[in-house]
Structure 1
Amino acid sequence: MDARDVPQSARSLAELFQRTAAARAGQIALRDSGGAVELTWREYAERVRRIAGGLASLGVRRGDTVALMLTNRPEFHLVDTAVLHLGATPFSVYNTSPSTQIAHLFRNAGNRVVVTERQWVTTVGAAGGAVEHIVCVGGEAEGALTLADLEARRPEGFDFEAAWRAVGPEDLATLIYTSGTTGPPKGVEVEHRAILACLRSGLDLPHLGAGARGGRLVSYLPDAHVANRYFSHYLAMAAGASITTVADLKTVAQVLPAVRPTVFLGVPAFWYKVQTALTQAITAQSGVRRRLATWAMGVGRAAADRRASGRVLPAHLAIRLAAADRLVLRRLRARVGLDEADAVITGSAPIAAGAVRFFQSLGIELCEGWAMSESSAGGAINRPGEIRPGTVGRPMRDVEVRVAADGELLLRGPTLMRGYRGDKERTAEAVDADGWLRTGDVGTVDADGYVTIVDRKKDLIVNSSGKNMSPANIENAVLVSCPLAGSVVAVGDRRPYVVALIVLDPVAAQALAPGDEDTAVLARLPEVRTAVEAGVARANATLSRVEQIKEFQILPGPWTPGGAELTPTNKVRRQVIAERYAAEIEALYRR
């Protein structure tokens, strides 16, 4: 059976998993990047059976919820899938969440079981709620069962086969808790039917279908985010791909060349760092090597631009491209670890069009996409050969996108959520009677169906002259042009001009000033200030006059995902930042 047909006919993710596990029994399903764990689909399925039985012995039944607070490791996939087979609902908690926020999630979800690691047992215990059992992965902890203990339990009368066959399309597959940029996280209820519909749409895309079927995936982003669940966990179930888990986010760049994924999702910050590293590597070369690399990138860019405009490559350009690819470009792709990737995707936040064009020059078709937790990762995406930098592509199969009168993008399709858990009022505000989801994004849809995101509806800067601007556009310009910038926040609402708060990327800053590790010290160094100033100037050259940054302040930082300034998915908490750094902002306008 073609992988594209499997989500079509399966009633649940449990059924989807069982079909794939049977068809791919002897092939590798799960491994960790360190090589300590490697499981075939047969072994994966057997562990799922045992864990499901153990959970059933703790009283987990259809309709219950189970919390997971884990790093990226094979056990996440084992436990999450086992919970699905019971008709229960697994959901993930960001590892950076404090006990107070975890308590809110547990109250909303009503879970009695938590699966976590020893380092968070105390944090989870302090959250309280209705939790009765804590399962500890990777070691022992006081007051907790080990995963081995759980697997050894044998519930009397438990029928695993009957349990998973009873799971239906309307059962909840997961809860995705939103990042909470404007308030407490909302629990997005995602049904099996929505994930299956999203898998159908994804596998219908030739590049994603080709890369996923029996391919190689990398799991390194938080599983509390719908994107990582879709592009590793669920996609593997549908297409029989193998998953390599990466516990330490900092090692992803080293892992990619070893895994050589066939499908890979990166966030903009990752692509900017890769772009900077490759650019510096080319610049560091001399003589013939440098001229050859520069020539090859130019040929790649010319070919990409021509294809983007729908024109056929003339014979002379095709010949030069083949030579450039043989001599330089394929080696650069291999260096990144994406030389065998069919689908290379960027999402989670807007990416600068210049970065997309840079990777196109390498022969890497960086396909920007757009979706939401509320749409179960279903939305719009660019396709290889049809990429229009600056857009998020065209809607996926069965997904509709239109623009409301006020410019807000509306989305409708079978991938939409059931609603926000325990919050009918906010559910009604988000989805209207005709099934259109108010995305909160302002954008456009052109005559060819390409969707362009302008900004978040509530994030637009309207200066004192009434000019509307996208802070994300300004911030991305700086992130592309200034390698030292880790986070950038543009400010200018009801102000005469734009200013910016900049937090350093610790690694890049330390490379400029070896020996200093404290970002507060680095922020005060004259050479760092000079380098950032040059980066801002380069960014300003790409912006309209009204968007240009007139003043900036380097903050001591660091800002960490899940901290006061950033959500766990690295989105800036603008209101919090505006309040916390009010004095610094006012000082910029007094200069």
Structure 2
Amino acid sequence: MPPTERKFSTVLEKNKGPRDQTLAPADSLWTTARDGAVRLRMEETGPGSEPPVTTIQMFQDTVQRFGNLPALAVKRDGQWQTTTYLQYHQQCRAAAKSFLKLGLERFQSVGILGCNSPEWFIADMGAIMAGGLPVGIYTTSSADGCLYVAKNCSTSILMVEDHQQLEKILQIKDQLPHLKAIVQYGHELKEKRPNLYTWKEFMRFGSDVTDSILDDVIASQKPNQCCMLVYTSGTTGGAKGVMLSHDNVTWLMKTVGKATGVREGDIGVSYLPLSHVAAQYLDLWLPMCFGGTTYFAKPDALKGSLVDTLREVRPTQFLAVPRIWEKIQENLEATDSTSSRIQRTISTWAKGIGLAASLHHVNGTRSMPWSYSLANYLVLRKVHARLGLDRCLRYQTGSAPISKDTLEYFMALNLPIMQLYGLSENNGPHTISMLSDFRLTSCGKTLTGCKTTIHMPDKDGNGEVCLWGRHLFMGYLNMEEKTMEALDEEGWLHTGDIGKFDKDGFLYITGRIKELVITAGGENIPPVPIEEALKKEVPIISNAVLIGDKRKFLSMLITLKCTVDPITLEPKDELAPDVIQFCQQLGSRATRVSDVIRSKDPVIYKAIQEGLDRVNQRAVSRAQKVQKWTILEKDFTVDGGELSPTMKLKRFTILSLYEKVIDELYKM
């Protein structure tokens, strides 16, 4: 037998498994072994009792029902190119055969490093069909960041988008003992290297692998085995590989879809990083379950082109992390500020009507304010069209706290944003807000078939939020201690988030245990409410970070809103237009961040201090008052390390990066 055939035959034997059972044998609710299996948290009746299926079975069912419907759409050479579900499935099978031919063994990982695209989806699903474990790597990761993930999960094959991403892998490939091949799928290769393939070469590579061989591998997979890895963003420590089973994915998608009214033909725009569980849930798995279409935004979506794509596609559902909603709000407010006085007056009147209409809707009132039709005709529908959301049915947010001010702003535009709550460890949403069941600032109610409890609540009902359901992860890859920290003896997931329920069962997240600032006096202080309160009082502030762990008093790091380079996304020294307008109204001539800091602009510094004084007046104790603060020269960025790819503050990184600045605040 030739060497390549002998090697492939060995891979096939390793991929084969038992075919005569629905589930793999398992006694425990968790495992940290990539080839392990778990006992499913199945209920005797209701949604939690539905028969488990693999992601591949779910995909096949969708192809049978919606084979000729468009699954994926991407704009290339100025034209939208669509892929039907049948074509999508065929391409995933072709990719799976190539993975097998390249030597991918059962439960080995396939790393995907690139922006959202059909190739990303095909590589992901193809890896699962071949018995591997796809894992997304953030495009903003450094070479060392890529090394950490690829080494931690013993990556066998790496898919990279372009030469820029390829260069990172070439720097580290000699430190990856399991790496067998690299595929560059986005652009032509600049130079040919051994075991480096183009997308076209890759898709043809497994053409001699028979259907029966692939079908054997597919048949060996069980719903309670791992099908994918998602790495946490590392906002509170090192990234961990979250192992998600087939059943985690398929059960949750059916449950969420039924709860929120997802339907055949729904349209979404994929732009959030697919390395994050929220993007995979909304862009990849939910449409696959219900026959929706995913349109891919341009790689520079977050640099300004997202709204252009939204206007073209006009999605029926749209999810954005809070920072993106805030940016949309800032842009709309900046446009309003340049309008005539009459236009601003009409806009303000219409928003008042829009807010009343939204409140009517969420309170279950069918009637609309008498002047809604006029307000909608003059203002609201035009804003919806300008944003590309004129036929959107669901506006959602998650991943981080969103301010009440932002929620009320969009309600005034009759764009009520529904909050979701969940973690990588539960594969997406656990609680969901819906128009028919809504409370402002709440994350909604627990999904049917899932359970939520508050662990050790205080007198106000606040305690650690704990979750239960078939969507809970299998465990952290090769991290038994961390897994046992997250899952208690009964199998409940301890989230580390602090929250409470109201009398109607709506969940409110009020803080995070690992983010608590514990002062030298032993006072436990949640930072987010104080930070958000200051940002509301002083709207020129972009980011505020509370400092004071093991310190005698609290202090604050502050960044100002500024313009951003559309190419690099780097914050400029120039203040944002609405900030300049704010400064001018107060009598300041500052137009740059450096102007404010260099002169310690008395007008701006006074405005910030007065805003902080108002926040301090509402503090429940002296220990919760902020005594010192400073303005940083530059706003936070993902590339700078202060923000995660989903725009959450990376507090431990910020403490390290600005250690000298912080020390200066505490010098007496």
- Normalization by structure 2: what TM-score? 0.79
* Alignment partners' CA distance in 1, 2:119 and 2:469: 32
1:297 shift after superposition: 0.7
Deviates most, 282-291 or 422-431: 282-291
Aligned residue number for residue 509 of structure 2? 453
State the Cα deviation string for residues 426-466 of structure 1 (Å, max 9, x = none): 11111112110010001112221111111110212345676
* Alignment partners' CA distance in 1, 2:354 and 2:80: 40
* Alignment partners' CA distance in 2, 1:380 and 1:287: 42
Query: Is the 8 Å Cα contact of residues 367 and 383 (structure 1) preserved in structure 2?
Result: yes
**Which is greater in Rg?**
2
State the Cα deviation string for residues 177-223 of structure 1 (Å, max 9, x = none): 1122343211110001001121022112234x14xx31111111111
The equivalent position to 2:487 in structure 1, one of 413, 431, 434, is 431
1:158-177 counterparts in 2 under 5 A?
A: 159=212, 160-177=214-231
Query: Is the 8 Å Cα contact of residues 97 and 209 (structure 2) preserved in structure 1?
Result: no
Aligned residue number for residue 347 of structure 2? 293
Percent identical pairs in the alignment equals: 28
1:480 shift after superposition: 5.1
What amino acid does structure 1 have at the position aligned with 2:369? A
State the Cα deviation string for residues 517-545 of structure 1 (Å, max 9, x = none): x9874764669885686477557656753
In structure 2, the CA distance between the partners of 1:244 and 1:322, relative to structure 1 (3 Å rule), is: same
Query: Is the 8 Å Cα contact of residues 370 and 379 (structure 1) preserved in structure 2?
Result: yes
Deviates most, 534-543 or 135-144: 534-543
The equivalent position to 1:45 in structure 2, one of 77, 89, 101, is 89
Secondary structure of the 2:511 match is strand
1:571 counterpart = 2:648: yes
Aligned residue number for residue 587 of structure 1? 664
The equivalent position to 1:259 in structure 2, one of 304, 308, 313, is 313
1:224 counterpart = 2:280: no
1:338 shift after superposition: 1.6
In structure 2, the CA distance between the partners of 1:68 and 1:503, relative to structure 1 (3 Å rule), is: same
Query: Is the 8 Å Cα contact of residues 562 and 570 (structure 1) preserved in structure 2?
Result: no
1:150 counterpart = 2:193: no
Unpaired segments ≥5 residues, structure 1: none
Secondary structure of the 2:429 match is coil
Deviates most, 224-233 or 452-461: 452-461
The equivalent position to 2:157 in structure 1, one of 105, 113, 125, is 113
1:307 shift after superposition: 5.2
Secondary structure of the 1:371 match is strand
In structure 2, the CA distance between the partners of 1:355 and 1:29, relative to structure 1 (3 Å rule), is: same
Secondary structure of the 1:204 match is helix
1:500 shift after superposition: 2.0
Aligned residue number for residue 235 of structure 1? 286
Query: Is the 8 Å Cα contact of residues 383 and 393 (structure 1) preserved in structure 2?
Result: yes
Aligned residue number for residue 415 of structure 2? 364
* Alignment partners' CA distance in 1, 2:71 and 2:616: 46
Aligned residue number for residue 474 of structure 2? 418
Deviates most, 553-562 or 348-357: 553-562
Secondary structure of the 2:643 match is coil
What amino acid does structure 2 have at the position aligned with 1:175? L
Aligned residue number for residue 588 of structure 2? none
1:497 shift after superposition: 5.2
What amino acid does structure 1 have at the position aligned with 2:315? P
The equivalent position to 2:326 in structure 1, one of 272, 291, 307, is 272
In structure 2, the CA distance between the partners of 1:482 and 1:61, relative to structure 1 (3 Å rule), is: farther
State the Cα deviation string for residues 441-495 of structure 1 (Å, max 9, x = none): 0111222111111111021234567654431223334455656544321224455
Aligned residue number for residue 491 of structure 1? 547
Aligned residue number for residue 131 of structure 1? 179
What amino acid does structure 2 have at the position aligned with 1:136? Q
* Alignment partners' CA distance in 1, 2:488 and 2:50: 27
In structure 2, the CA distance between the partners of 1:231 and 1:244, relative to structure 1 (3 Å rule), is: same
1:238 shift after superposition: 0.8
* Alignment partners' CA distance in 1, 2:63 and 2:538: 46
1:85 counterpart = 2:129: yes
* Alignment partners' CA distance in 2, 1:218 and 1:276: 21
Query: Is the 8 Å Cα contact of residues 63 and 171 (structure 1) preserved in structure 2?
Result: no
* RMSD of aligned Cα (Å): 3.0
What amino acid does structure 2 have at the position aligned with 1:553? T
In structure 2, the CA distance between the partners of 1:325 and 1:463, relative to structure 1 (3 Å rule), is: farther
Deviates most, 42-51 or 109-118: 42-51
Secondary structure of the 1:369 match is strand
What amino acid does structure 2 have at the position aligned with 1:341? C
The equivalent position to 1:16 in structure 2, one of 18, 39, 58, is 58
1:398 counterpart = 2:449: yes
* Alignment partners' CA distance in 2, 1:496 and 1:434: 39
Deviates most, 186-195 or 474-483: 474-483
In structure 2, the CA distance between the partners of 1:184 and 1:492, relative to structure 1 (3 Å rule), is: closer
* Alignment partners' CA distance in 2, 1:78 and 1:419: 26
* Alignment partners' CA distance in 2, 1:366 and 1:214: 22
Query: Is the 8 Å Cα contact of residues 265 and 345 (structure 1) preserved in structure 2?
Result: yes
1:21-100 counterparts in 2 under 5 A?
A: 21-33=63-75, 35=78, 38-41=81-84, 42-100=86-144
Query: Is the 8 Å Cα contact of residues 364 and 436 (structure 2) preserved in structure 1?
Result: no
* Alignment partners' CA distance in 2, 1:125 and 1:171: 32
The equivalent position to 1:204 in structure 2, one of 252, 258, 261, is 258
Aligned residue number for residue 618 of structure 2? 545
* Alignment partners' CA distance in 2, 1:255 and 1:497: 47
Aligned residue number for residue 332 of structure 1? 383
What amino acid does structure 1 have at the position aligned with 2:95? I
Query: Is the 8 Å Cα contact of residues 232 and 240 (structure 2) preserved in structure 1?
Result: yes
Aligned residue number for residue 555 of structure 1? 632
Deviates most, 349-358 or 25-34: 25-34
Aligned residue number for residue 214 of structure 1? 265
State the Cα deviation string for residues 330-383 of structure 1 (Å, max 9, x = none): 221221222211111111100011211211111112011110011111311211
Secondary structure of the 2:166 match is helix
Secondary structure of the 1:218 match is strand
* Alignment partners' CA distance in 1, 2:477 and 2:237: 15
Query: Is the 8 Å Cα contact of residues 262 and 341 (structure 1) preserved in structure 2?
Result: yes
Deviates most, 186-195 or 245-254: 245-254
Deviates most, 448-457 or 528-537: 528-537
Secondary structure of the 1:205 match is helix
Deviates most, 185-194 or 157-166: 157-166
What amino acid does structure 2 have at the position aligned with 1:419? G
Query: Is the 8 Å Cα contact of residues 8 and 196 (structure 1) preserved in structure 2?
Result: no
Deviates most, 99-108 or 499-508: 499-508
* Alignment partners' CA distance in 2, 1:318 and 1:121: 57
In structure 2, the CA distance between the partners of 1:441 and 1:537, relative to structure 1 (3 Å rule), is: same
Deviates most, 275-284 or 192-201: 275-284
Deviates most, 60-69 or 455-464: 455-464
State the Cα deviation string for residues 4-34 of structure 1 (Å, max 9, x = none): x9x9667221222223234333332222355
In structure 2, the CA distance between the partners of 1:532 and 1:158, relative to structure 1 (3 Å rule), is: farther
1:52 shift after superposition: 1.6
Query: Is the 8 Å Cα contact of residues 266 and 292 (structure 2) preserved in structure 1?
Result: yes
Query: Is the 8 Å Cα contact of residues 482 and 536 (structure 1) preserved in structure 2?
Result: no
Aligned residue number for residue 21 of structure 2? none
1:518-537 counterparts in 2 under 5 A?
A: 521=594, 524=597, 534=607, 537=610
* Alignment partners' CA distance in 2, 1:466 and 1:389: 32
What amino acid does structure 2 have at the position aligned with 1:121? L
State the Cα deviation string for residues 216-235 of structure 1 (Å, max 9, x = none): 11111111110000010111
